[in-house]
Amino acid sequence: CVEPGNVVLVLGASGSGKTTLLRAVSGIGPLIYGAEVRGTVLVGGRDLWSLGLDGIRRSIQVVNQNPYTHFVEHVVGVDLANTAMSVHGRDAGERVFGKVVTMLGLEPLLRRRFFELSGGQLRRVAIAKAMLWDPKVLVLDEPLMWLDDDGLYEVREVLGVLRSVGKAVLV
């Protein structure tokens, strides 16, 4: 059980099922991989499958091990703004975009291209993209992989922000 404002860390050896668990609780196992999930996943007290695909996307967002998989546009601000407007419409999207950019301190990165970012900056932007959906739950698949000390610090800071705004986080 991951409560709002909590961060839960799942540890295990390589091949022990951490990513399989991620796929099961986020709904992507059956949707993308054709997997069978047994048991019930509740989000906000509701069965995950009762939410429908759009409801699942708005309730749970996954940030993959490889943050580059999240982006369509080359420029950080363009990608995030387009996503926010696609999800919420133009006016609300602009407000959500501004809120997430401010919350995660992304202003200095908005004009940069993704390939110019450090590992920590890239993870922070990938998490920001997930936050544009305003999900109840964020699932971060090995967010500290390949990061130096500065990158670890950046991700740790973002986890603190997510906790402070009441997001449930599964790492």
Per-residue model confidence as pLDDT tens digits over 4-38: 999 999 999 989 988 888 888 888 888 788 888 88
Backbone angles phi, psi at 158, to 5 degrees: -65, -40
β-pairing, 46-47 vs 42-43, is antiparallel
> Which band of pLDDT confidence, cut at 50, 70 and 90, is reported for residue 158?
very high
* CA nearest to 138, candidates 151, 150, 155: 155
With left for phi above 0 and alpha for psi between -120 and 50, is residue 15 left, alpha or beta?
left
Query: What is d(CA 167, CA 170) in angstroms, rounded to the nearest whole number?
Result: 10
Catalytic, 116? Answer no
Reported as a single tens digit per residue, the pLDDT across 71-120 is 999 999 999 999 999 999 999 999 999 999 999 999 999 999 999 999 99
Catalytic residue from among 36, 107, 116, 142: 142
Average pLDDT over residues 48-68: 90
- Report the pLDDT value the prediction gives residue 23, as an integer from 0 to 100: 86
Residue 20, pLDDT score:
85
This prediction has a pTM of 0.92
| Mean pLDDT, residues 59-73 | 93
Length of the chain: 171
Confidence of residue 154 (pLDDT cuts 50, 70, 90): very high
pLDDT of residue 114: 95
